[in-house]
Amino acid sequence: MGAKVSKAKRPKRRWIGITIPASIQTKQELLAAIESSNLSEYQIKLYDTYFSNTDAAAKTRFAFNIEDDVGIAIICVLLSEYRGVRSYLASKDNLEFTSISSSGKIRLVRERMGLSKPARR
């Protein structure tokens, strides 16, 4: 086993808080929706997921004045792909996902969206 790669040499990432359609109620459905969209071109890792019927999603919708019944998720993308993902989320071609917040630190995205760190499983 080799030495651990220093933090400076690891790939840089960005976390993006997004809304997801109310029709999506499982992580598998969310991953399939991402795969069937233009986001499939990018390396995306799914972190937190709160579906439309959860209290956390309702709290975030209220904080951001989102009237639609949507769920909330946090995805991670490489910094090199960040602009492409953000431009897709803002484009008229995208009808499923909307960007709410983004940062280089997941902690900040969670704080802005009013989410707590999920319990480890």
pLDDT tens across 75-119, in order?
A: 999 999 999 999 999 988 888 899 999 999 999 999 999 988 877
Are residues 71 and 40 in contact, defined by beta-carbon separation less than 8 angstroms?
no
- State yes or no: pLDDT of 120 exceeds 80: no
CA pair distance 53, 47, nearest whole angstrom: 18
Query: Domain 12-113 falls in which CATH fold?
Result: Alpha-Beta Plaits (3.30.70)
Extents of the domains making up the chain: 12-113
pTM score, whole prediction: 0.88
- State yes or no: pLDDT of 1 exceeds 70: no
Q: Pairing between strand 98-103 and 44-50?
A: unpaired
Mean pLDDT of the chain: 90
Q: Pairing between strand 71-78 and 13-20?
A: antiparallel
Give pLDDT, residue 3. 79
| 10 or 2, greater pLDDT | 10
- State yes or no: pLDDT of 44 exceeds 90: yes
- Token readout for 13 is 């990432």
- State yes or no: pLDDT of 7 exceeds 90: no
